[in-house]
Chains A and B, each alone.
Chain A
Amino acid sequence: MTTTPITGTPPSPAPATELVTVTVDGKTQQFPKGTVLLEACNQMGAGVPFFCYHPGLTSPAVCRQCLVDVKGQPKPVPSCYTPVADKMEVMTKSPRALDVRRQMLEFTLVNHPIDCPICDKAGECLLQKHYFDWDAKLARNDGIKVKKAKVVDIGPRIVLDQERCILCTRCIRVCDEVAKTHQLEMADRGDHEVLTTAPGHQLDNPYSLNTVDVCPVGALTSKDFRFAMRAWELYTTPSICPGCATGCNIEVHHSHGKIQRLIPRQNDQVNEHWMCDEGRLTYKRVHAQRLAAPMSGGVPVDWDRALDDAGRALRVALDAGPAQVGVVMNAQSTNEDLYALARLTFDHLGLGKVYLAGLDQGWSDDILVSADKNPNTAGAMAIGAGRLRTLLDLANDLKSGAVTTLLVVGTHGVIGKDGAPGALPLDRLTTLVVVGTHRDEVTAAAKVALPLAEWAESDGTFTNRLGMVQRVRAAVPPAGDSLPGWEILSHLARKLGATMEFTEAKTVFAEAKQKLPFMKDAEWGRPLLPVQLRFAGSRG
């Protein structure tokens, strides 16, 4: 477990060996040698359209939508396939370039079914965008369109519509280059060419939903998100995936206080443009089986009453013998929650028996998925600084009676999935106070259970396996009466006679940043309001 701080601003890319001067539409700028001409043009604001190009994939130049005029070239060149050269003069808006691009767009639309009303991609579709930007005319072709298969089930998570496909092959390249499996192929020729699964395969690799993201049209749709929302109803908040220790940068797409989907956000140091299918479904737990109100003795009560009860129960136990009081931290909590808990436990109460809980280890690969299914193990280990014990220790301590009172903050994985490995004899406790997100065995067994906000409901930071401290943002309002962990712990500290007054997550972060070396270079970032999805922010 490394805790090397690689935080703050990402290190700038290695200094380019050579710069070349490129003129685009009369403006001149220098680019490192080897830059793709399309990137150069669009960095200078030319807005060259494209379908098959993707910055994270190789470029086959099949869609011919990015053709531009280059001085000295007899024909327009595909800018996604052309590296910049010195003294290159590019005309992206010349009549010929505009003409060929418009003709290519018309050609792409010849057999497109235009079923935008029922297409999940409508609103974030590159074909729609380019049509409105560059053409926006009635069809000149009025023949009968070629019919292809719709609603083809090509895998456990994806539905294919062959009619909508514009044959850009981005999805094939995602499978080949990201997931390293060949599961999709083109079949047939001409206007009967279709996307299909490779013989004997289905699209079931653990990165298959990235094909939905990169699909410029609605040919590939996610079964989970299918027909759930139109793109323009969604608001987006940048965050971090809680699925594993990799800490993929994501965007949380939500509407009316409910998360609808998670999509990857580009971070070349962590996940580039991708995330795994498992991570995309982690949002489900935010809206399922949540503990919505404080519970005391199995009865819902208000916060004042619950905090009084929790404080009194803990105070009695502390007065009887602090050595028998245990605290369980969770690797699913943010650094801020963990820091507040560490302050309360180590500094104010002086407790020694602190245990680290978290979800069980799972599968991993050498692409993105980490075996550690907790997003903040590195942060918890660093904050614990060698003082943390395992759940096995806790089970032994419970059995031997060394711990009779337990404060659990975060219940994920406290009781193992199968019950057996992490099974805890919680019934041996005299007092169990739980700050938990879900209605599970632990909160059910608690004397006092306080509702905790999930990762998507509170601000904070996660430390991934590389030691990068990454910012998590509250996207949706907390379920029921639940509160962020640092706030609950501040209230609880006051009931226990400790002075730990945090007013917002940022103040916890600022204090933690000063005291913890691994957070030294971390940035809190600017406050952000959720942005409604529009074409400007399209992820096509």
Chain B
Amino acid sequence: MAVGVKVVNRPGSLAQQAYLPAIAEGLGVTFRHFVKNFFGNVTGNRKKTDIATMEYPEEKMKYPERNRGLHRLMLRDDGQVRCVACMMCPTVCPAHCITIVPEEAPDGRIEKRPMIFEIDELRCVVCGLCVEACPCDAIRMDTLDHAKPTYRRVDAILDKEELMSRGIQSTAVQGGVGAFWRERVGGQPQTPPAGAVVPAGAPHGPTPLRDHGHK
């Protein structure tokens, strides 16, 4: 029956046994943070406080640069939509949220453009595959914005005009890098041979390949 029993003595000193100094110490930490955060907040110098939350909606989270947000359609130099309705994005879209109806463009150099380009932001799973599939740098998700809340589902379907309203001109060259791309990859400004026809819209400076999605 000899069960081994080990007697552990309580902390020795009276101060430790009373707990009060430790409580006071803990309250002190709390009070120190309170003072720091309270007055830091009041004086507006929140950087020096320890507050982890944000005062939404006055203050908004700054998203990282690669955040995938609301879609936008990029524009050509003359303000037309860059999209050529190649159907890569609706093909790759796992949520089937992109609807494109192509039409013949009046501009013969472009040939094809979307008559209807709609994205159902309620269906979108924000995977970004449409951006990766796009051969023309026409669709992007870099607006750092959210799909807006709506009262009706139909209002969450963004049409071409709305998507283009957020668009800017792309630095990519429509139709690929074009001739003399080796020089451009090397970073050297290209000099076309005398008499050569430079395609319309060719850039003037070096255009690194990685800007065009080539790896």
Contacts and interface: CB of A to CB of B under 8 A. Distances in A.
A118 B86 contact: yes
A524 to B, nearest CB: 35
A160 to B, nearest CB: 13
A233 B88 CA distance: 11
Contact of B111 (A118, A144, A228): A118
Contacts of B199: 144
Interface in B65-97: 84-88, 91
A72 interface: no
Interface stretch (A145-153, A291-299, A497-505): A145-153
B91 A233 contact: yes
Given A117-B84, A117-B86, A142-B182, A151 B111 contact: yes
Nearest to B111: A118
B108 A227 contact: no
B102 A227 contact: yes
A114 interface: yes
Interface in B26-78: none
Given A144-B197, A233-B91, A227 B104 contact: yes
A145 B135 CA distance: 20
A191 to B, nearest CB: 14
How extensive is the interface on chain B, given as a class? 20 to 34
Interface residues of A, number: 19
Contacts of A145: 179
Contacts of B192: 144
B135 A117 contact: yes
A389 interface: no
Nearest to A226: B104
Interface in A204-237: 226-228, 230, 232-233
Contact of A144 (B87, B104, B108, B196): B196
A115 interface: yes
Nearest to A139: B181
A118 B84 contact: yes
Given A144-B197, A147-B197, A233-B87, A227 B180 contact: no
A145 B175 CA distance: 13
Contact of B112 (A118, A143, A147, A233): A118
A143 B91 contact: no
B196 A230 contact: no
Interface string A109-127: 0000011111000100000
Main secondary structure of the interface of B (DSSP, over half): loop
Contact of A227 (B112, B176, B197): B112
Contacts of A147: 197
Contact of A232 (B91, B176, B197, B198): B91
A228 B87 CA distance: 11
Contact of B108 (A115, A143, A150, A233): A150
A145 B112 CA distance: 21
A116 B136 CA distance: 12
A122 B135 CA distance: 14
A303 B112 CA distance: 45
Contacts of B175: 115
Contacts of A116: 86
Contacts of B112: 118, 227
Nearest to B91: A232
B85 A227 contact: yes
A117 B88 CA distance: 8
Contacts of B86: 116-118, 122, 230
B155 interface: no
B103 interface: yes
A10 B109 CA distance: 49
Contacts of B198: 144
Given A115-B175, A117-B135, A227 B103 contact: yes
Contacts of B136: 117
B83 to A, nearest CB: 10
Contacts of B181: 142
Nearest to B103: A227
Contacts of A142: 179-182
Name the residue among B86, B108, B180 with the largest chain A CB count within 10 angstroms: B86
Contacts of B104: 226-227
A537 B88 CA distance: 20
Contacts of B197: 144, 147
B8 to A, nearest CB: 74
A217 to B, nearest CB: 15
Name the residue among A116, A227, A228, A232 with the largest chain B CB count within 10 angstroms: A227
Given A230-B91, A233-B91, A144 B176 contact: no
A179 to B, nearest CB: 27
A361 B88 CA distance: 45
Interface string B92-118: 000000000011100011011000000
Interface string A267-299: 000000000000000000000000000000000
Contact of A114 (B91, B108, B176): B176
B126 to A, nearest CB: 24
A184 B181 CA distance: 36
B87 A230 contact: yes
B181 to A, nearest CB: 6
Contacts of B91: 230, 232-233
A228 B111 CA distance: 13
A229 to B, nearest CB: 8
A246 to B, nearest CB: 33
B179 A143 contact: yes
A117 B114 CA distance: 12
Nearest to B179: A144
A118 B138 CA distance: 14
Contacts of A143: 179-180
A232 B112 CA distance: 18
A226 B86 CA distance: 12
A114 B112 CA distance: 15
Interface in A127-149: 142-145, 147
A309 B194 CA distance: 84
Interface in B140-199: 175-176, 179-182, 192, 196-199
Interface of B: 84-88, 91, 102-104, 108-109, 111-112, 135-136, 175-176, 179-182, 192, 196-199
Given A117-B136, A147-B197, A230-B87, 4 more contacts: A142-B180, A143-B179, A144-B192, A227-B103
By Cβ-Cβ distance, the 8 closest A-B pairs, closest first, are A117-B86, A144-B179, A118-B112, A227-B102, A230-B87, A118-B84, A117-B135, A142-B182
28 contacts: A115-B111, A117-B88, A117-B136, A118-B84, A118-B85, A118-B111, A118-B112, A142-B179, A142-B181, A142-B182, A143-B179, A144-B180, A144-B192, A144-B197, A145-B179, A150-B108, A150-B111, A151-B111, A226-B104, A227-B85, A227-B102, A227-B103, A227-B112, A228-B102, A230-B87, A230-B91, A232-B91, A233-B91
